[in-house]
Structure 1
């Protein structure tokens, strides 16, 4: 009986620790912070966003979950904290495709693969003024993802995403009336 309780408690502890290092936990922990922009794109908007560029179209067609978050990172302490949190998320099960470190500034593209398919893409940027991440979950061509990372095509994707959502939202409201 005691062994079962101890086993259950240890499994609960392990599960809670591993879930802390997930994009869901990071998103939920920071979405209500001051000066944060957090976007979780509903499925009906994925088709609208696919019109940003041909690259986005090739990604969006296979996307099940798309999130973007931009947050302030104006102090070295805050930047270090955010960089450590992202490192803990990507450190265990993601493969870094691209990384550029300049002092505390970061530009990282990480993926999670299953067999010959990329299942998750996480793009993290932090320039000591603001940080951001762009997260895709779906089924993606690894060659295309690596090509986009190599050509720095992920760098401005977050800003383009926000601009497209801001552009599309009034149009959606008008169409619903």
Structure 2
């Protein structure tokens, strides 16, 4: 009886920790913060975003969930906190495809694979003034995803989202 109870508590703890370190929990925890722009793209708009390029059309066509969030990161303490949260999320069964660290500044592209497909793509940027993440969930060709990451094609999406949703321009974000 005691062994079953200990096992149950252990399993519940692991489940709780796993759900704490997810895009859903980060998105829900910060979407109501001051000066945050949070976008969850509805299915009907995904086809509009697919018009960026043939590669992007291929990627968007397989997307089930697309989220973008832009948030302030005005102090080193806040930047460290946000970087730690994203490191925790990305370290939770994601594979880093690209990382660039410059002091507290971060540019990270991570993927989660299942068998021969990429299921999730997470792109995180923080420049000590503002941070952002771009998240895709779907069924993607890993070769195409790695090629797009190598050619920095993912950087076009925040610009398109900015125009569609009248957000601050990505050039201002990356200053």
TM-score, normalization by structure 1: 0.88
Confirm or deny: 8 A CA contact 2:49 2:160 kept in the other structure: no
Equivalent position SS for 2:154:
coil
Partner of 1:87: 87
For residues 75 and 166 of structure 2, the distance between their equivalents in structure 1, rounded to whole angstroms, comes to 28
C-alpha distance in 2, partners of 1:152/1:77? Answer: 29
40-49 vs 96-105, which deviates more?
40-49
* Residue ranges of structure 1 left out of the alignment (5+ in a row): 168-177
Q: Could you tell me how far apart the structure 1 residues matched to 2:80 and 2:159 are?
A: 23
Distance 1:127 1:156 in 2: 18
| Number of positions where the alignment pairs a residue of Structure 1 with one of Structure 2 | 167
DSSP 3-state at the match of 1:154: helix
* CA distances 1:47-85 after superposition (whole Å, capped 9, x unpaired): 122223333212110000100000001111111111111
State the partner residue of 1:125.
125
1:70 corresponds in structure 2 to 70
Offset at residue 165 of structure 1 (A): 4.0
Q: Which residue of 2 aligns with 1:99?
A: 99
Q: Does 1:139 align with 2:139?
A: yes
Structure 1 position 51 matched with structure 2 position 51: yes
Residue segments in structure 2 that go unaligned for 5+ positions in a row = 168-175
Give the aligned partner of residue 12 of structure 1: 12
Structure 1 runs (4+) deviating above 6 angstroms are none
**Aligned-pair distance for 1:144?**
1.1
State the SS of the aligned residue for 1:92: coil
User: Is the contact between residue 49 and residue 165 of structure 1 (CA under 8 Å) also seen in structure 2?
Assistant: no
